Structure 1
Amino acid sequence: MELNEIKSLWEVYDKKLEASLKLNQRFIDLIVAEKVRSSLAPLFWRRIAEGIVQLACMAFLVVFLCRNFSEPAYSVSALSLIAFYMVAFINSIRQLVIIKRMDYSNDIVTIQSGLAMLQAHNLDYARMVVLFIPACLAFPTVVLKAIKDLHIDSFANKDMITLTGGHWWTAQVAATLSLIPLGLWCYNQLSYKNLHKKWVRNFIQRSSGKRVRKAAEFMKELHSLKFEAI
């Protein structure tokens, strides 16, 4: 067999091998896209459901605020809860936009960047929840007063502020003011720059979202598999 024939055979073999590698890479990309899509679909619908609930809560709080605007104890409590639900609603919308705009036909790196954005939004939301912990003290004030406003006889005397002669409101304000520094400290601590701290690392891992985390882990596995195939 002459040298030219050997070169020709080698070139044919090389082209077949290259085509096979491209086919394998494309197959891996399709697996990635389908796996990520199936992982994020339940998260997408859950965020829609959460957004609807958050809107309903804000609508309820706005009505409550209008009815009790002249009473600072109730109006301030309602405003703090409206702010909390507004932050949660904005986060849900942002995640919906990211998931909706994610192009699963792109390469692995592009999909990974979308998942990283989802993880970042989950962390931001978790940090804001920690910051808004003092606002949760407003729930008993608002809920019991709202029930009282419905004129249900069995709950007519269950208003926390009325029952305690205003002391609940004083305690609520004092507790809120005392928790604000703690909330700010936790908010500043919970960032990627503090990953060397175990409790911060555990918090970030848990706040990233189970489905997003699983999709990201699957992406890493297939990304490694893709390089092995090359």
Structure 2
Amino acid sequence: MELDDLKGAWAQYDKKLNENLKFNEELFKKLNLDKSKREMTTPLNYELFSVFINIGFILFFASSTFRYAGNTVLLISGVLTTLFMLLFLFFSIHRLRLMSAIDYYNSSVIELQKALSKMKNKFFLYKRIEIFSFPFFTLAFLPIGAKAIRNFDILAHPTRFAIALVLGLVLGYTLALWIYKNWYEQKIKNTNDFINELNRFEEEE
């Protein structure tokens, strides 16, 4: 083989090697971005579900409040419950918007990290507010909830009211903390790990 032929063969081999390396790099990036997006599917779907559920509850409790407006206690209970539900609806919509705004395939790694960090910070802020407000929400909810759902005056039965309050708090906190941990915090951590791995890969190039 002459020198020119050898150089041509080597150039062709080098070109194919570079093409393979570029293909592998693009494949690695796509796999990491696919995994990142897939991790955030669960909290995104949960927030979408929460938006519809909250709207349904708001309409139900607003109409129930109007129906029992002649009873001062039920009126206050209904108004407070509706306001809490509106607050929770706002949180769900805002989290949903932040998650939907993350453009995994047309953003730089830095932009992805910033978007994820912004969503993460809002999640923990809203989480603290929800955890703190849940006992007050439960207190507000029980009178109008019992009357609207079961036509039952729970305030006339202090023991049942206390039992319902304790059970509501225990079950509510247990479910909420499980959702926070498994459907949010773990998913956010996994997504952040995938993006950080992609960032380290780009820095090493």
Distance of aligned partners of 1:78 and 1:122 in 2 relative to their CA distance in 1, 3 Å threshold: same
Q: List runs of 5+ in structure 2 lacking aligned partners.
A: 1-11, 166-179
1:162 alignment counterpart: 156
The aligned amino acid for 1:112 is: Q
Q: Is residue 33–residue 195 contact of structure 2 (8 Å, CA) maintained in 1?
A: no
2:71 alignment counterpart: 71
In structure 1, distance between residues paired with 2:89 and 2:150: 27
TM-score when scaled to structure 2? 0.70
Q: Is residue 61–residue 78 contact of structure 2 (8 Å, CA) maintained in 1?
A: yes
In structure 2, distance between residues paired with 1:49 and 1:64: 23
Q: CA-atom RMSD, angstroms?
A: 3.1
In structure 1, distance between residues paired with 2:150 and 2:21: 70
Shift in Å at residue 17 of structure 1? Answer: 8.6
The aligned amino acid for 2:141 is: F
Instruction: State the secondary structure of the residue aligned to 1:132.
Output: helix
Percent identity over paired residues: 20
1:144 alignment counterpart: 146
1:95 alignment counterpart: 95
1:199 alignment counterpart: none
1:187 alignment counterpart: none
Distance of aligned partners of 1:54 and 1:61 in 2 relative to their CA distance in 1, 3 Å threshold: same
Instruction: State the secondary structure of the residue aligned to 1:105.
Output: coil
The aligned amino acid for 1:60 is: F
In structure 2, distance between residues paired with 1:78 and 1:59: 11
Query: Greater relative contact order (Cα 8 A, min sep 6): structure 1 or 2?
Result: 2
Q: Is residue 25–residue 226 contact of structure 1 (8 Å, CA) maintained in 2?
A: no
In structure 2, distance between residues paired with 1:28 and 1:87: 41
Shift in Å at residue 62 of structure 1? Answer: 0.2
Shift in Å at residue 36 of structure 1? Answer: 1.4
Q: Is residue 141–residue 160 contact of structure 1 (8 Å, CA) maintained in 2?
A: yes
Instruction: State the secondary structure of the residue aligned to 1:209.
Output: helix
1:131 alignment counterpart: 132
2:186 alignment counterpart: 210
TM-score when scaled to structure 1? 0.63
2:202 alignment counterpart: 226
Q: List runs of 5+ in structure 1 lacking aligned partners.
A: 1-11, 150-157, 173-204
Task: After TM superposition, list the pairs within 5 Å mapping 1:1-230 onto structure 2.
Answer: 25-106=25-106, 107-133=108-134, 134-149=136-151, 158-164=152-158, 206=181, 209-228=185-204, 230=205
In structure 1, distance between residues paired with 2:59 and 2:185: 27
Distance of aligned partners of 1:44 and 1:148 in 2 relative to their CA distance in 1, 3 Å threshold: closer
1:185-214 deviation per Cα after TM superposition (whole angstroms, max 9, x unaligned)? xxxxxxxxxxxxxxxxxxxx9495321221
Q: Is residue 54–residue 85 contact of structure 2 (8 Å, CA) maintained in 1?
A: yes
Runs of 4+ in 1 over 6 A off after TM superposition: 12-21
The aligned amino acid for 1:161 is: L
How many residues are paired up? 173
